A and B are shown apart, each in its own frame.
Chain A
């Protein structure tokens, strides 16, 4: 169960925790962009993905999160891998069609299909990992304050940014509460003989329904009550609110921004120029 709570804010005092949420948001965008770039050939992609993976590992260690538990929580992604493999196997890309991994009856499965599927999967994993680092190291309220700051220009166009930020912060605020609900309902249903881990597909589907229905009901009830409670305390979405937390920008933020921008720039340059380090530096042609 603990896998679900991956990415929940954990109050350590790591260098990453101390960064300004606005910095972290920009860094996240920069790094996600870097992760999703395409490169000249498979070897370069492999190299750059390896580099990104290394970076993510370092960031994980810095935020004191365990990469192993991330892998465990992504265990269920095998389904996605199979799906991707299937898609790529049915619609192989036109290049690299000479490079066959094996045949299923007479149908060729290309290495390109397998590698592409793996590539997508690893990139998704890296993206998830990066966002987990953000949420694990930033208080939800700080995160919304950061997002609100970026939204503030739209405020002049007549959009009620404060209300949207409130919606966002409530959504974030209720993630752990809903996870608690999940655990509580799972316990109650387990006591009634539901097995969430094993069983045939139909049995599992039923188990899932016995979890989801009470969850939706309790969430609706809760949001209703929350609305009343907020109104009861005089919340008015149109009036201006004062802020308790102040966001401050430090030297560390500048350094983090520069590092991320540099990494992103490197990736973009390599991608746009189709730079192939193996050919340029070592003179070897690889796939």
Chain B
């Protein structure tokens, strides 16, 4: 299912002194089966943008088309079947640890699938599967979600969404607050899920993740889309203009080029590809 934004604007608390234009005429196409990263400064409207994708917010102008669901500013045009939309579009929030409420982890993870119509046993099965996928073993099943560490809570919350088997997975800063190893594991998990044909939409401040995992980057600034391109394209530009970080790999490569090593920036997306490019360049130099 692709997601298409057509001239979408969103104003928080319209008609009050608090009115704030969080989105201003956004046109955007997020393709099926790809990973799109949404980046931008704090307050640039990323979270607002993704909440339009499962109709938690309705645009104040324009419309969002998610498969056959239309989330439009016009009430008459707006599709009614929120239930099947939310089943298809799974959303992991910025602070997902605040949604836990059941007395055991497995029940909490099974809560989503149960709501979306699975039988109890089936839902528990899906819950266990999802828990194993995020790397929490059987010993967690019967524990109370409130006694977990912050990172474990986050994993439980992610499992809670995975268990509903969405075809679009929207993640708002999924790795913030996780230790580097867990962050790496979580991202690896998302890569794996993507192989099943799931569309990934990833909001993040971590440019290393963007470079490594994204097929497409959307740069936002003050509620507008500034640029849509591939990560390679974005990071080979000067990024000051968007006040984004350069990924470590690129920073290293650029420094190396400055020092006279003829590195090629093409196909550079993580440490191993950097090492490869470096070896290639050095070998060439020797000859």
Residues of A within 8 A of B (CB): 2, 10-12, 181, 184-185, 187-195, 209-210, 213-214, 217-218
State whether A193 and B115 are in contact (beta carbons under 8 Å apart), knowing that A187-B93, A188-B93, A217-B146 are contacts in the complex.
yes
Residue of A nearest to B95 (CB): A184
**Nearest CB of A to B271, in Å:** 34
List 11 A-B residue pairs with CB atoms under 8 Å apart, sorted by A's residue number.
A181-B98, A184-B93, A185-B98, A187-B56, A191-B54, A191-B161, A194-B115, A210-B99, A217-B98, A217-B101, A218-B98
List residues of chain B with CB within 8 A of the CB of A12. Answer: 17
**Nearest CB of A to B64, in Å:** 16
Residue of B nearest to A192 (CB): B112
Q: Are B101 and A213 in contact (CB under 8 A)?
A: yes
Question: Most chain-A Cβ atoms within 10 A of its Cβ — which of B86, B93, B99, B116?
Answer: B99
Q: Which residues 85-105 of B sit at the A interface, judged by CB distance below 8 A?
A: 86-87, 89-91, 93, 95-96, 98-101
List residues of chain A with CB within 8 A of the CB of B112. Answer: 192-193
Determine if B190 is an interface residue (Cβ-Cβ < 8 Å).
no
Q: Which of A187, A193, A195, A210 contacts B101 (CB 8 A)?
A: A210
- In the bound assembly, the distance between CA atoms of A188 and B96 in angstroms comes to 7
State whether A185 and B99 are in contact (beta carbons under 8 Å apart), knowing that A12-B17, A190-B56, A193-B164 are contacts in the complex.
yes
**Nearest CB of A to B171, in Å:** 12
- In the bound assembly, the distance between CA atoms of A155 and B82 in angstroms comes to 56
Q: Are B98 and A193 in contact (CB under 8 A)?
A: no
8 new A-B contacts at CB < 8 Å, known A2-B13, A193-B86: A185-B98, A187-B56, A189-B99, A190-B86, A191-B54, A191-B161, A217-B101, A217-B146
Q: Which of A190, A192, A213, A214 contacts B160 (CB 8 A)?
A: A192
Q: How many A-B residue pairs have CB under 8 A?
A: 61
Q: Which of B82, B95, B164 contacts A192 (CB 8 A)?
A: B164
Residues of B within 8 A of A (CB): 13, 16-18, 51, 54, 56, 82-83, 86-87, 89-91, 93, 95-96, 98-101, 111-112, 115-116, 146, 160-161, 164
Q: Are A191 and B98 in contact (CB under 8 A)?
A: no
Q: Are B51 and A187 in contact (CB under 8 A)?
A: yes
Q: Is the interface of A mostly helix, strand, loop or mixed?
A: helix
Residue of B nearest to A11 (CB): B17
- In the bound assembly, the distance between CA atoms of A184 and B172 in angstroms comes to 13
Q: Are A193 and B83 in contact (CB under 8 A)?
A: yes
Residue of A nearest to B113 (CB): A193
**Nearest CB of B to A250, in Å:** 23
List residues of chain B with CB within 8 A of the CB of A217. Answer: 98, 101, 146
**Nearest CB of A to B170, in Å:** 9
**Nearest CB of A to B113, in Å:** 8
Q: Are A192 and B99 in contact (CB under 8 A)?
A: yes
List residues of chain B with CB within 8 A of the CB of A185. Answer: 98-99
Residue of B nearest to A194 (CB): B115
List residues of chain A with CB within 8 A of the CB of B17. Answer: 10-12
Q: Are B86 and A191 in contact (CB under 8 A)?
A: yes
**Nearest CB of A to B198, in Å:** 16
Q: Are A210 and B111 in contact (CB under 8 A)?
A: yes
- In the bound assembly, the distance between CA atoms of A192 and B165 in angstroms comes to 11
- In the bound assembly, the distance between CA atoms of A214 and B111 in angstroms comes to 14
List residues of chain B with CB within 8 A of the CB of A181. Answer: 98
- In the bound assembly, the distance between CA atoms of A60 and B146 in angstroms comes to 44
Residue of B nearest to A188 (CB): B99
List residues of chain A with CB within 8 A of the CB of B164. Answer: 192-193
List residues of chain A with CB within 8 A of the CB of B101. Answer: 209-210, 213-214, 217
List residues of chain A with CB within 8 A of the CB of B93. Answer: 184, 187-188, 191
List residues of chain A with CB within 8 A of the CB of B83. Answer: 193, 195
Question: Most chain-B Cβ atoms within 10 A of its Cβ — which of A2, A189, A192, A195?
Answer: A192
List residues of chain A with CB within 8 A of the CB of B111. Answer: 192, 210
Residue of B nearest to A218 (CB): B98
Residue of B nearest to A191 (CB): B91
- In the bound assembly, the distance between CA atoms of A110 and B208 in angstroms comes to 75
Q: Are A193 and B56 in contact (CB under 8 A)?
A: no
